[in-house]
């Protein structure tokens, strides 16, 4: 039986795709940077690459703050202060606490059933903490681990050790890790010997090298996984 459910935040509980797009548009407008159909996709690809480098341990969260918008400005041949643009973008992003449909209902149901819930995120504290608070969910979680705060990112086992420490060090067999990212969430769970759920609502092709314990398309399937394990099915 799983007793501890560790959820990734972005695009697992929160609609980060929507939030990022809105915050980015507001940022470009504020700094007078012209937007075309290609502008946001260019940023997305650069940002994705930066976070992948973080997950591989090549750069720190602090370096992401300046690097991603420096690379972006270079890519679109625009001028500006990368850190200033990044800070404004994060401010806008922190205000967007869009939850995925059904996420809050699921969390409250699981909490009422006696499960211990936690958030594990590679995000930045200036964004993640305010979003969780604005969503009115802080009290639901027994642990919240933000990579920037501890200086370690998923899938590093030390990241999960921090969460486990907040939870009085549960056994890995009692823990289920749920997330949308195969490398940070699923490989992270594998690294510590915990079962994992790949939340994959769009049916993306997975890596043959990283195999989750379960794969689900929606929260109904996730509930089924959790409850069937509890029932010993």
Q: What is the pTM of this model?
A: 0.91
- Could you identify the residue written with the tokens 């504290």? 125
- Could you identify the residue written with the tokens 């973008």? 89
Question: Using one digit for the tens of pLDDT, what is the confidence trace for 156-190?
Answer: 999 999 999 999 999 999 999 999 999 999 999 99
Tokens matching residue 202? 């769009």
Domains by residue range for the chain, with CATH:
4-15+97-230 (3.40.50.1000), 16-94 (1.10.150.240)
Of 113, 159, 164, which is closest to residue 143 (Cα–Cα)?
164
Helix (H) or strand (E) holding 156: none
Question: Using one digit for the tens of pLDDT, what is the confidence trace for 29-88?
Answer: 999 999 999 999 999 999 999 989 988 889 888 899 889 999 999 999 999 999 999 999
């Amino acid at each position: 039986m799983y007793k501890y459910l560790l959820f990734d935040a972005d695009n697992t509980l929160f609609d980060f795709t929507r939030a990022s797009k809105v915050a980015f548009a507001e940022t470009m407008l504020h700094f007078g940077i012209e937007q075309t159909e290609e502008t946001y996709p260019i940023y997305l690809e650069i940002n994705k690459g930066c976070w992948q480098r973080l997950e591989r341990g090549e750069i720190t969260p602090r370096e992401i703050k300046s690097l991603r918008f420096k690379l972006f400005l270079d890519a679109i041949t625009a001028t500006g202060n990368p850190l200033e643009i990044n800070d404004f973008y994060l401010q806008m992003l922190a205000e967007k606490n869009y939850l995925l449909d059904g996420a809050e209902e699921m969390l409250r149901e699981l909490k009422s059933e006696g499960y211990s819930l936690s958030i594990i995120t590679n995000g930045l504290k200036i964004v993640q903490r305010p979003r969780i608070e604005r969503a009115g969910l802080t009290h639901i979680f027994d642990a919240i681990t933000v990579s920037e705060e501890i200086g370690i990112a998923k899938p590093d086992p030390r990241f999960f050790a921090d969460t486990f420490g907040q939870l009085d060090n549960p056994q890995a067999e009692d823990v289920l890790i749920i997330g949308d990212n195969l490398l940070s969430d699923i490989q992270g769970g594998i690294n510590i010997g915990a079962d994992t759920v790949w939340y994959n609502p769009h049916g993306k092709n997975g890596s043959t090298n990283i195999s989750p314990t379960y794969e689900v398309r929606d929260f109904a399937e996730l509930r089924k996984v959790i409850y069937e394990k509890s029932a010993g099915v």
